[in-house]
Amino acid sequence: MQLYSINTGNFKLDGGAMFGVVPKVLWNKLCPANSNNLIDMAMRSLLIEDEERLILIDNGIGNKQDAKFYSHYELYGDDSLDKSLAQYGFHRNDITDVILTHLHFDHCGGSIEKEGEKLMPAFKNAIYWSNEKHWKWATEPNAREKASFLKENILPIQESGQLQWIENNTRIISEKVAFNENISIRFAEGHTASMMLPHIQYKNKSIIFAADLIPMAAHIPLPYVMAYDMFPLTTLEEKKIFLEDAVSNDCILFFEHDPVNECGSLQRTEKGVRINNLFKLSEV
């Protein structure tokens, strides 16, 4: 097995929204904001080469939206999904599986591309993996979350016949369901319904794709919960369980949105679980 960090691009979001009730005087030291209160963020996917399978976790914002849409998020840099795959000698047609942690546009926008006026799967040879609870939540969205679930990113996946379900029969975030011999899935309910957190066994280490439960290293402290979360108190409890389990089992967190830090190990301190070391995935 081999893991690769895939940066699909960078964007900016409101710093206050990213840190919820935490005052700017605190989070701005960790993630400096520009004059519009926006902070830098990555859209980092994880590629898993596992025998005959090439598994991609999330795929960024995509490139099929109009200029007005992208202007809200101030995309920057020259990273892209295709460029990052090519760096390791891969093409999107090599992907056999796409695990979508959840269906917010910055996580699944690259799933579908435009071919003329048609919306088609960007990964022609892949199975797309979601779960029934989250799919229903995303396709019948509430008014608060509706802007994050774009039909053009979601419905063509099912229409293509390439969509399959990962069954969620867990009760708490510390429980997992098997995806294959080396990958299992945790489920979190605070950010959005039934978000999936892949847990990978790699080089005798446990690596967890933290998705939007802990999007950046700066979000490790328990109160640092995004205003985007649908159920912040649920997130708070999930983070507590998740971090205690992760530090007890010496897990490594892979950060999807941290613009600087790819991975982090954890330690217990007087203030609770905190970052121990920060490093690149290639250093594992």
pTM score, two decimals?
0.97
pLDDT at 256: 98
Q: How far is CA 207 from CA 7, 200, 210, 250, in A?
A: 17, 5, 9, 9
E strand map for the chain: 2-14, 38-50, 53-57, 97-99, 112-115, 118-121, 127-130, 163-165, 177-178, 183-188, 195-202, 205-209, 252-254, 263-269, 272-279
> How does pLDDT run across 103-122, given as a tens digit for each residue?
999 999 999 999 988 999 99
> How does pLDDT run across 207-232, given as a tens digit for each residue?
999 999 999 999 999 999 999 999 99
Buried b (16+ CB within 10 A) or exposed e, 115-129: eeeebebbbeebbbb
Answer whether 182's CB lies under 8 Å from 200's CB: yes
Q: Which residues pair with 253 in a beta bridge?
A: 208, 264
53-57/127-130 β-pairing: unpaired
Report the run of H or E that residue 52 belongs to, with start and end: none
Measure the CA–CA gap between 39 and 25, rounded to whole angstroms.
Answer: 14
Q: For domain 2-283, give the fold.
A: Metallo-beta-lactamase; Chain A (3.60.15)
127-130/163-165 β-pairing: parallel
Q: Which residues of the chain have pLDDT under 70?
A: none
pLDDT at 117: 87
Q: How far is CA 259 from CA 196, 232, 236, 256, 268, in A?
A: 21, 23, 23, 9, 25
Measure the CA–CA gap between 74 and 62, rounded to whole angstroms.
Answer: 14
Answer whether 152's CB lies under 8 Å from 64's CB: yes
